[in-house]
Structure 1
Amino acid sequence: MCNPRRIEVRATSTLSRSWEVALTRTASASIDVTGEARLNQPFGTQLGAPLRRAFEAALGADPRWTWSEGAYRLELPHGQVAYHPETGEIEMTARWTELVEASGSATRTLSGRVVASTDATASGTFYTDGWAGQTENHVRSHLHTRLQKESDRKAEKEADRQEAQARDQGRSRLAGQQQEIDDLAAADARRNLGAVAEQARPGLDRQAAEQLGEARDTYLRPVNLVLRTAYRDMFEAYARTHGAQNLSVNEDGDVLTIEFEIEE
């Protein structure tokens, strides 16, 4: 055994790793969507001229009816009834309203890459005569294998540290952008709501049409009440114009009774 020599061996590792963090926010939006159905029918043209004048005058005097867009209109719990003096038509409008909802979301993603570079060093002894197999190549190879594993472990650990740090920083940045992401999610919900509302409208129109068909008398009842008043006013005016005596007007529910005497 002779000539021991010292050598130093160094192993290096480079580990590249990508990372990604995301923040998803959701929102909802709702709106009342109304379907409509309309039905027009002649009315004023079926009345005699004196009665039509009395009917239109009674509409104008009734505070429940309002004049708007060329017609007398009365709002009802689920729609509207209108009378158009120009055409003499009754227009019945049924409305069916439902609340529709939609959801939306927005996601913002941050990503990056970390690079961990590490090394490990150690020294060893070999013998120039290769005593006990300790040649330079053997010692160098043995040390390098051990050091490479050690360097790789250090690189993994360093990459884990850098990745965790980068993810934490990314989450912190996203947290600072949360309001902006919330606004994007709300905008997405509103866009989706528009589509949902349009999809719902035809069905609501059908519901309104069914309601109008089933409750047509409900829409005509206020008209008939005004018509009763018109009959009363017309006959009272006639009676007074012709000097009638013993004028008696009695309203019992939906029945109107007018009695008077005229001497010929």
Structure 2
Amino acid sequence: MCNPRRVEVTATRELAEAWEHEIRRFATRTASATGVARVREPLEAGIGAPTLVMLDRVLAASEEWVADGESYRHDLDGGHITYHADTRELEIVAEGSEDVEVSATAVDTRHGTINETITAVGAGHYYDDGWGGLTEADARRTAGRQAEHALEEHRARLLREAREADERARGDEVAASAGSEAEARLAEQVADRTATLRADARRRLTSIGVRGRQVFHEALALAYRDAILAYARMRGASNVACVERDGVLEIEFEMGA
């Protein structure tokens, strides 16, 4: 068998090819919409200072009332009540919240053109004695096919690199556009849900108030009890008795004239 012979073929192509690429970005934004309705009611002017002192102690000792400065808050289903000791007001609040999530997609279709001369080399082999049935013409055809294949790979790589470079250059801008659109939609939907939740809170304010006043007056009743008992003890009362029946406090004691 004779030594193998190598045939090389160089192929050249002038590229003037347009490309199109779609850059797509997706953004999601979330926020909480809250609707609130509230009313403040002054306490009766006839509540004496000793009772108010005891009320502060009752609320401070309760696990259901949480101190906040000079106020005490009690959470309810769908709202809360707050006793403001500094203004002697009971604040009734109905509230509701809801998570809002929106999405937006931004798309930018990009175009460009590759103008470049590309070159590739292919190789083929044959034997002088025709071993394996390969001739120089076969080797040249093989080399030509390799060169054309390499040219096509080079062309595809240039197109891919052009699209990738454009996406790197424009991707952040398209993402920002998607984010801005999502934020605009979010603001609109939060405003809509807030209005709906606020209207719902106004409708529920009456029922929240009924329950809230009941809870507060239970604490106020204990304050009255403690104020009366403190007064009786301070005056030297005897046979002091305090009994609760069916939600009614009965206090008895004896004092000298």
Which TM-score tier does this pair reach, normalised by the shorter chain?
Answer: 0.5 to 0.7
SS in 2 for 1:32: strand
Work out the CA distance in 2 between the residues paired with 1:51 and 1:89. 15
Query: 1:23 Cα deviation (Å)?
Result: 2.1
> What secondary structure, in the 3-state scheme, does the structure 1 residue paired with 2:202 have?
helix
Describe the superposition over 1:24-50 as per-residue Cα deviations: whole angstroms up to 9, x where unpaired. Answer: 122322222111111111115242343
- Change over 3 Å in CA distance of 1:179–1:58 after alignment to 2: farther
Q: Which amino acid aligns with 2:209?
A: R
- Are 1:197 and 2:184 matched, yes or no? no
Q: Secondary structure at the match of 1:195?
A: helix
Q: What is the letter of the counterpart of residue 231 of structure 2?
A: Y
Q: Deviations over 1:215-235 (max 9, x none)?
A: 211222321121121021012
- In 2 relative to 1, CA 100–46 (structure 1 residues): closer, same or farther, beyond 3 Å? farther
The percent identity for this pair of structures is 29
Q: Structure 2 counterpart of 1:260, which letter?
A: F
- How many residues of Structure 1 are paired with residues of Structure 2 in the alignment? 209
User: Which residue type is aligned with residue 200 of structure 2?
Assistant: Q
Contact kept? 1:44, 1:52, Cα under 8 Å: no
Task: Report the equivalent of 2:130.
Answer: none
Q: Which residue does the alignment assign to 1:23?
A: 23
RMSD over aligned Cα atoms: 3.5
- Deviates most, 202-211 or 106-115: 106-115
Unaligned runs of 5+ in 2: 1-13, 118-151
> What is the aligned partner in structure 2 of residue 89 from structure 1?
89
Distance change in 2, residues 1:241/1:15 (3 Å) = closer
Q: Does 1:222 align with 2:215?
A: yes
- Answer whether contact 2:108 2:174 (CA < 8 A) is retained: no
Aligned to 1:103: 103
Could you tell me which runs of 5 or more consecutive residues in structure 1 were left unpaired when the two chains were aligned.
1-13, 118-159
Displacement, 1:243? 2.5
Q: CA deviation at 1:53?
A: 3.3
Whichever residue aligns with residue 207 of structure 1, its letter is D
Q: In the alignment, is residue 256 of structure 1 matched against residue 249 of structure 2?
A: yes
Which AA in structure 1 matches 2:102? Answer: A
Query: What's 1:231 paired with?
Result: 224
**1:215 aligned counterpart, secondary structure:** helix
Shift of 1:108: 3.9
Correspondence 1:210 to 2:203: yes
- Stretch deviating more after TM superposition (43-52 or 85-94): 43-52
What amino acid sits opposite 1:235 in the alignment?
I
Q: Distance in 2 between matches of 1:45 and 1:98?
A: 39
Q: TM-score, normalised by structure 1?
A: 0.64
